């Protein structure tokens, strides 16, 4: 395995961009952030973790953390280690007693767990050099996750989708209305 130079980082924010949802990982004290594009559910999970939003039933990341706690496993840190063909790679560094375990993970899952556990996050300097964007270039329009959405549970997501569905029907955008209807069905 090649020698990777890692720097401590933080989950800076979750943004909605024209390309989709992205979690922005920024080296501590740095002026560049790395956008890692993730799905809607993963974005919501990370936001719940960052905001400390309690959920009535455990989500996948909560379940994983509970299993770790019940089996005496601690999370030491999350590392975002590589970027190949526009795919980010990460790993969880776990510890059980004196034994250290490294587990391959999608960055969205690693960061979902880190957002709940408040464990250190590290990112390879080479990733920041290759994919980092100057924080000053990230517009406020892109960082559209509002406090309402941050603290939102499935109910406010449903309300937003219902509002968008109503607008799609009013403007006779039936393709979008069908997509929103299907998304609403998934939430129920």
**pLDDT (tens digit per residue) in 32-78:** 999 999 998 899 889 888 888 887 888 888 899 999 999 999 999 99
Residues 71, 126: Cα–Cα separation, whole Å: 35
- Whether residue 115 is predicted with pLDDT greater than 90 in this model: the reply is yes
The sign of the dihedral angle between the CA atoms of 107, 112, 115, 117 is negative
CB count, 10 Å around CB of 96? 12
For the chain, list the domains and their CATH numbers: 6-151 (3.10.690.10), 153-188 (no CATH)
Q: Which residue has the tokens 């601690």?
A: 74
Per-residue pLDDT averaged across 128-139, rounded?
Answer: 85
Per-residue pLDDT averaged across 82-99, rounded?
Answer: 94
Residue 135 neighbours by CB under 8 Å, 6+ apart: 12, 26, 31, 32, 33
Q: What is the pLDDT of residue 158?
A: 67
- Whether residue 154 is predicted with pLDDT greater than 80 in this model: the reply is no
Rounded to two decimals, what is the model's pTM? 0.72
Between residues 11 and 165, the one the model is more confident about: 11
């Amino acid at each position: 395995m090649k020698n990777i130079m890692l720097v401590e980082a933080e989950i800076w924010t979750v943004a909605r961009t024209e390309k989709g949802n992205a979690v922005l990982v920024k080296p501590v004290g740095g002026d560049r952030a790395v956008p890692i594009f993730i799905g809607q559910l993963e974005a919501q999970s990370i936001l719940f973790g960052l905001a400390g939003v309690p959920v009535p039933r455990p989500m996948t990341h909560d379940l994983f953390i509970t299993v770790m706690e019940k089996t005496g496993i601690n999370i030491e840190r999350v590392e975002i280690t590589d970027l190949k063909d526009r795919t980010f790679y990460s790993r969880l560094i776990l510890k059980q007693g004196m034994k250290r375990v490294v587990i391959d993970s999608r960055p969205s899952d690693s960061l979902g767990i880190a957002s709940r556990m408040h464990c250190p996050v590290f990112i390879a300097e080479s990733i920041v050099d290759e994919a980092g964007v100057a924080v000053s270039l990230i517009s406020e329009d892109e960082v559209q996750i509002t406090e309402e959405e941050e603290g939102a549970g499935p109910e406010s997501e449903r309300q937003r989708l219902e509002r968008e569905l109503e607008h799609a029907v009013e403007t006779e955008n039936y393709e979008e209305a069908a997509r929103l209807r299907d998304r609403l069905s998934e939430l129920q």
